[in-house]
Structure 1
Amino acid sequence: FDPQFSEASFGFRPGRRAHDAVRKARQYVEEGYEWAVDLDIEKFFDRVNHDILMARVARKVKDKRVLTLIRRYLQAGVMINGVVMETTEGTPQGGPLSPLLANILLDELDKELEKRGHKFVRYADDCNIYVKSKRAGERVMESIRKFLRERLKLKINEQKSAVDRPWKLKFLGFSMHKAKEGRILIRLAPQTIERLKTKIREITARNKPVSITERIERLNTYLGGWMGYFALAETPSVFKDLDGWMRRRLRMCLWKQWKRVRTRYRELLALGLPERVVHEFANARKGPWRMAHGPMNRALGNAYWQSQGLTSLIERYQTLRQAW
């Protein structure tokens, strides 16, 4: 199947990855296709029609034993609270065959878009079509909605699909930014930043009795994998801002740990702050988040957290970008 798939299909294929899809999308925008039709297929993996899918598989697979096995795989059912429920549509989420079956079915969408001469990028069930005007995008959205409904028995999620500028949409965790000189930059989507912050908040929750060392270890583990994917972004200032916010979260945790005035006094003096500042700070009645700013920020800056083993996002970013 794979050699016949579209060049615009990037998901779950050998030698192709999400970064390639995002770069291709950026190329289309640079070429002047500055409107995007963002297609979100409603509950795709749950709604795949078995008969339509098997008909597409049978075009290439002639061995009836293999076809029977694939259909049994699709109809194996799921276990909910110990009870096996029959599955009459959809492909098993997480199943090793499901990504290939998804590409087989959606290859029909790819071929239709190619036939119409559209510029598009698809990664599994996430598809963006690039056009030159909003009106053209609305026409494409309507015709593809009809195609999916009539040919593949699939529905578009109207709440999550849109026709808009690429810099207002999210694609595979990224968005785009049109710089002043006209260059198109890949940036983190706002939703991606918020999800990262949610995870960091979870690791640095001040009500958890966890040592700073353990928090730093958890942050390093999580951020290493996260940055391995999101270093594709071309706006490093975002990572610097996130670093500052993350360090403030850690300072807040430290302040919360120094519960007594005596402890705060001792720890702040050890950090080299003037005694006058220490006295004022140790007796302050402000909340931990506010106290994590100001003099504590100066005393517990980048160098301190590096000495504690925290690897900053911007440092990870620069290392990865140099290696690419």
Structure 2
Amino acid sequence: MEKAHGFRPRRGCHTALREVDHTWTGTSWFIEGDIADCFGSLDHQVLLSILGEKIDDQRFLRLVRNMLKAGYLEDWRWGATLSGAPQGGVASPVLSNIYLHKLDEFVETVLIPDYTRGKRRARNPAYLELQNLLAKARRRGDRVQARKLRQRMVSLPSADPGDPAYRRLRYIRYADDHLLGFTGPKVEAEQIKQRLAQFLRDELKLELSQEKTLITHARTGAARFLGYEITTQHNDTKKTGRYRRVNGQIALRVPQDVIKSKCAPYLARGEPAMKMALINSSDHAIVATFGTVYRVFKVERCERARGLGEW
């Protein structure tokens, strides 16, 4: 499936985030999927059944079955493995991806078609009414009224955000971390979450974490995915040409708690902290040390930018 980016050639966190950034414009709700103890809860019978659908080699399947049941050694004591993929093994990511491929198929062949319709949103009736009044005011030469109407139009979306004939559902997964973006009412987002939980429970013997599986409003809140906070932008004044193109665009932000934790070693009570080890150094040594740290930081930034595809 094209929406799975974990443990696959030429794919990773950056390609997953880039897809969200480039194609999820206009999302209304984020459904953050968190499977409770995913890798430790994979059902062995379900996994072998999935493998058997594509692999007609009983010796290979027997080898996988024996590996799954081999158990583990901890503090020189053997423990049985009744479920889950062997942690740390080279085959574990592949087996987990094969297992969750069923989830990808369900979302892409069932949920997305059920919750995607309409080519584009209908025009906003309130916006159209103001547009007609503006045209009449301009024909009359009433500049004051035209300016007032234009200001009111700027604060309204040109498309109808509640258009019942328009829905979009998008999906992305990296390993066991998956995210859905839905354009539509919250009640339907709740239905999607319930259907997802039921499929995982009935077909894959997995459970969604009720505490961590959240439905977040894309404009007023932010979803956590692969270390970023994902939200949609809204601005009533910034315009590009004739349209407010910033509205509905995806924004990826570093969480504030991450920024604070990264800054903490360099701060003392919220203020820049001195480097005691450099106090008695020469001016040249201080400047040289600063230059070295800055160059390392700059190289790291360039490497990240290259991985992100030069956003």
Q: Could you tell me the TM-score, scaled by structure 2's length?
A: 0.66
TM-superposed CA distance for 1:140, in Å, is: 0.8
**Cα deviations across residues 222-244 of structure 1 (Å, max 9, x unaligned)?**
xxxxxxxxxxxxxxxxxxxxxxx
Instruction: Indicate the residue corresponding to 2:86 in structure 1.
Output: 92
Instruction: Indicate the residue corresponding to 1:55 in structure 2.
Output: 49
In structure 2, list runs of 5 or more residues that go unmatched.
Answer: 113-168, 236-245
Matches within 5 A, 1:1-324: 6-30=1-25, 32-115=26-109, 116-117=111-112, 118-132=169-183, 133-166=185-218, 168-179=222-233, 180=235, 181-182=246-247, 183-194=249-260, 196-197=262-263, 201=265, 248-249=272-273, 251=274, 253-254=275-276, 267=280, 305-307=289-291, 309-311=293-295, 313=297, 316-317=300-301, 321=305, 324=310
Shift in alpha-carbon separation, 1:49–1:191, aligned structure 2, 3 A: farther
Aligned residues: 235
Q: Do 2:16 and 2:173's aligned partners in 1 also have CA atoms closer than 8 Å?
A: yes
Q: Do 1:28 and 1:130's aligned partners in 2 also have CA atoms closer than 8 Å?
A: no
Q: Do 1:78 and 1:85's aligned partners in 2 also have CA atoms closer than 8 Å?
A: yes
Distance in 2, matches of 1:105 and 1:62, equals 17
Distance in 2, matches of 1:120 and 1:57, equals 24
TM-superposed CA distance for 1:20, in Å, is: 1.0
Q: Secondary structure at the match of 1:175?
A: strand
**Cα deviations across residues 109-146 of structure 1 (Å, max 9, x unaligned)?**
11111122241001111111110132222111111111
TM-superposed CA distance for 1:148, in Å, is: 0.6
Q: Secondary structure at the match of 1:59?
A: helix
**Cα deviations across residues 64-83 of structure 1 (Å, max 9, x unaligned)?**
11001111111121122210
Distance in 2, matches of 1:70 and 1:205, equals 52
Q: Do 1:134 and 1:164's aligned partners in 2 also have CA atoms closer than 8 Å?
A: no
In structure 1, list runs of 5 or more residues that go unmatched.
Answer: 1-5, 207-244, 259-263, 273-299
Q: Do 1:38 and 1:161's aligned partners in 2 also have CA atoms closer than 8 Å?
A: yes
**Cα deviations across residues 44-93 of structure 1 (Å, max 9, x unaligned)?**
01000000110000111111110011111111211222101010100012
Q: Secondary structure at the match of 2:172?
A: strand
Distance in 2, matches of 1:312 and 1:135, equals 49
TM-superposed CA distance for 1:35, in Å, is: 1.1
**Per residue, is there more helix in 1 or in 2?**
1
Matching residue's letter, 1:162: L
Shift in alpha-carbon separation, 1:79–1:174, aligned structure 2, 3 A: same
Q: Do 1:39 and 1:127's aligned partners in 2 also have CA atoms closer than 8 Å?
A: yes
Shift in alpha-carbon separation, 1:83–1:53, aligned structure 2, 3 A: same
Moved more, 128-137 or 311-320: 311-320
Distance in 2, matches of 1:159 and 1:194, equals 25
Distance in 2, matches of 1:150 and 1:320, equals 40
TM-superposed CA distance for 1:25, in Å, is: 1.7
Shift in alpha-carbon separation, 1:320–1:18, aligned structure 2, 3 A: closer
TM-superposed CA distance for 1:187, in Å, is: 2.0
Q: Do 1:47 and 1:90's aligned partners in 2 also have CA atoms closer than 8 Å?
A: yes
Distance in 1, matches of 2:54 and 2:68, equals 18
Moved more, 111-120 or 58-67: 111-120
Distance in 2, matches of 1:106 and 1:26, equals 23
Q: Do 2:228 and 2:254's aligned partners in 1 also have CA atoms closer than 8 Å?
A: yes
Shift in alpha-carbon separation, 1:82–1:26, aligned structure 2, 3 A: same
Matching residue's letter, 2:203: R
Q: Do 1:49 and 1:89's aligned partners in 2 also have CA atoms closer than 8 Å?
A: yes
Distance in 2, matches of 1:319 and 1:64, equals 45
Matching residue's letter, 1:142: Q
